[in-house]
Every structure is written in C-alpha cells, then in structure tokens.
Amino acid sequence: MIDWTNCPDVESVPGRCGGAWVIKGTRIMVECILDNAEDCTAEEIAGPDIYPELDVDVVRRVLAFASPTPADPETIYIEPICDRCKNLEANGLWSEEEQEAACMEEDCPNKPRAYIRADLFRARLQQMEDNAVDFNEARELHIAILTALLKRARGELDAFGHAELIDEINEALPNRRC
C-alpha cells in the first residue's frame, strides 16, 4: 500500500470521491492514473483521449512516486488477498515483495509469477523490435551478397555446363532469382 501523504501532487478530501486520493484540484483518482499506466505512457494519460485536463509532468511525478525504488526497478509490491495471506500479515509474517510472498493457496492471486513493470516492458519490447529490424536488414544484406556470388558463379560454371547446380541453389533462396 502506498502512503500518498508525502506526494505533493495528490490530496485526499473527505466527501470528494469517498476520500480517495485524487490529483490536487481534480476528482481524478490516483488509482485510475495507476490503472492507465499499465497500458499507457504519461503522455497518453495526460493526452486528449484520457485526461486532457492533467499536466503530463504531474502524471510523471505521480507515477514516479508510485513506482518501486530506482535501485530495484522490477520489485512488485503486493497486498495480502486470500485468508491465508491476511493471517500471515496479521502475525507479522507477510512480505510485500512478490518474490518473498509466502501464500500456499493454489487459487491465491499472489502466487509467485514473473512480473515486469509496464515502462520496462515497453522498453524491452522496443529493444526486441529494433533487434528484429537489425536482424532482417542483416539477413537481406547476406541474401544480396549470396545472390551476387551466385550470379558470378553461374557465369563461370556455364562454361563447364554446371548451371543446373546454380539453379537449384537459387530455387532455395526466398524470392531471389539470378
């Protein structure tokens, strides 16, 4: 559970949204910002489609306040859900860190899982896309070089009557013809 009392961009006002933490001067609940952050960037959240009345810097500060410490960016803090979890918490044996959660109930949502924060996921996905583009460009270059070599080899082998071999190799190349 996040203690929002030290975040200067949020407030809890009795009678406004049931006393939930909201962005200062608005009725936009912090919980809604965090829910949107799972699938959207701060710019998208403060953009015209979600909350155009919010300043993107406020959204960034709220998300930064809610995020795990920079020293351990992949830590996911979870709350006890099932009765066993709640008993562990009541006895002081509950850890908020996902990898140390001790619930043994099969249907408990807190069962250990591999998590990654949404911002880290987007960065990793972008890196994978960039690697795929680089791989395809390198593959295309290798195919172009191989095609040029086959053209040269075909010219030399034609003198000996071995052009059929080049045709077989050429057929194996995807969408390439010498």
Res. 84: pLDDT tops 50: yes
Print the domain residue range for 149. 118-172
Q: Does residue 125 lie in a domain region?
A: yes
Q: Is the pLDDT of residue 75 over 70?
A: no
Q: Are residues 54 and 2 in the same domain?
A: yes
The pLDDT score that the predictor gives to residue 83 is: 73
Please tell me the total count of domains within the chain: 3
For residue range 6-60, list pLDDT tens digits in order: 788 899 999 889 899 999 999 999 999 999 988 899 999 999 999 999 998 889 8
Q: pLDDT tens across 138-162, in order?
A: 888 888 888 888 777 777 766 666 6
Mean pLDDT of the chain: 75
* Residue 155 domain-assigned (yes or no): yes
SS (H, E, C) the chain: CCCHHHCCCEEECCCCHHHCEEECCCCCEHHHHHHHHCCCCHHHHCCCCCCCCCCHHHHHHHHHHHCCCCCCCCCCECCCCCHHHHHHHHCCCCCCEHHHCCCCCCCCCCCCCCCCCHHHHHHHHHHHHHHHHHHHHHHHHHHHHHHHHHHHHHHHHHCCCCHHHHHHHHHHCCCCCC
How much is the pLDDT for 117? 57
- pLDDT at res. 113: 45
Q: Which of 93-97, 113-117, 170-174 has the lowest mean pLDDT?
A: 113-117
Residue 10 has a pLDDT of 92
53 and 102 co-located in one domain: no
* Domain-embedded: residue 149: yes
Same domain? 18 vs 77? no
∠106-66-45 over CA atoms, to 5°?
100
Residue 130 lies in a domain: yes
Asked whether residue 177 is domain-assigned, the answer is no
- Residue 74 above 50 pLDDT? no
pTM of the model: 0.40
4 plus 21 within the same structural domain: yes
Comparing CA positions, the residue from 67, 11, 79 lying closest to residue 37 is 67
Sign of CA dihedral 17, 62, 66, 39: positive
User: Is 128 found in the same domain as 165?
Assistant: yes
Give the CATH number of the domain where residue 49 resides: 1.10.10.10
Examine residue 20 and state whether it is found in any structural domain, yes or no. Answer: yes
Q: What's residue 60's pLDDT?
A: 87
Q: Is 41 domain-assigned?
A: yes
Between 58 and 170, name the one with better pLDDT.
58
Q: Are residues 127 and 164 in the same domain?
A: yes
pLDDT of 128 strictly over 50: yes
* Residue 55 included in any domain: yes
